[in-house]
Structure 1
Amino acid sequence: MLETGRYRAALMARLEELDTRLHMIESELDCPKTRDFSDMAIEREGDEVLEHLGQSGQEEIARIRAALARIRDGSYGVCVQCDERISTARLEILPETPLCRQCAAQIS
């Protein structure tokens, strides 16, 4: 049986980091914009980068929440595609992963 306590703690810590980061991104995007045309173009490029980072953060949060749900229902550490165990080494690197290495390789 997989000991999920440390994975849960790691996932919760990462969730907190992402929440903080997303709030900072949101605050930055809400800042008043300049009226100078050349500065506006630079700000818009920066906003696009921030929006992309925010979207990536939201996607990671969804994966973390799904992993936490798998911990709660007892299916954490089992590949959602083939029902084989996910290696401990893989979970150490990607604690939110729903897939074993073989299934992940097939998707990539």
Structure 2
Amino acid sequence: MNPFDPASALHTLAHEYQQRVEAIRRDLQRSHSPDFAEQAAQRQNDEVLQGLLQEAEAGLLAVRHALARLEEGRYGQCLGCGEPIQLARLQAMPAAELCLACATARD
């Protein structure tokens, strides 16, 4: 098994989020049908796409913050309690800011 490489994981994740953001923006720029009923459905789809875009942009921002923490030597340190974030959590969620205990308490 390869050791966890946070820089690689974060860059891969950033690339995926960036591709998602670009694809959603392209979808939102498409023209709508002249048919009113069709337009209504397309506008509903646009609302869903806007939500997905916000999620993808938030994910991209979280990854950028994680990369900044990595550069500063603070990656893997919980922003809540200051304790190390568990490796398994970082492997599953490379941009995690909180340890499991702090994330659970926040919810």
> Which TM class, normalised by the smaller chain length?
over 0.9
Distance apart, 1:72 and its partner CA? 0.3
Distance apart, 1:81 and its partner CA? 1.2
Number of equivalenced pairs? 105
Q: Pairwise mapping of residues 1-108 of structure 1 onto structure 2 (< 5 A)?
A: 6-108=5-107
- Aligned to 1:80, what secondary structure does the other structure show? coil
Q: Give the TM-score taking structure 2 as reference length.
A: 0.93
**Unaligned segments of structure 1, at least 5 residues:** none
Distance apart, 1:43 and its partner CA? 0.1
Matched residues in 2 for 1:62 and 1:54: separation? 12
1:26-58 deviation per Cα after TM superposition (whole angstroms, max 9, x unaligned): 111111111111001110111111111100001
Distance apart, 1:22 and its partner CA? 1.1
Amino-acid identity (%): 34
Distance apart, 1:20 and its partner CA? 1.1
Letter aligned with residue 33 of structure 1 = H
Matched residues in 1 for 2:75 and 2:13: separation? 17
Q: Give the TM-score taking structure 1 as reference length.
A: 0.92
Matched residues in 2 for 1:14 and 1:60: separation? 9
Stretches of 4+ moved more than 2 A in 1? none
**Unaligned segments of structure 2, at least 5 residues:** none
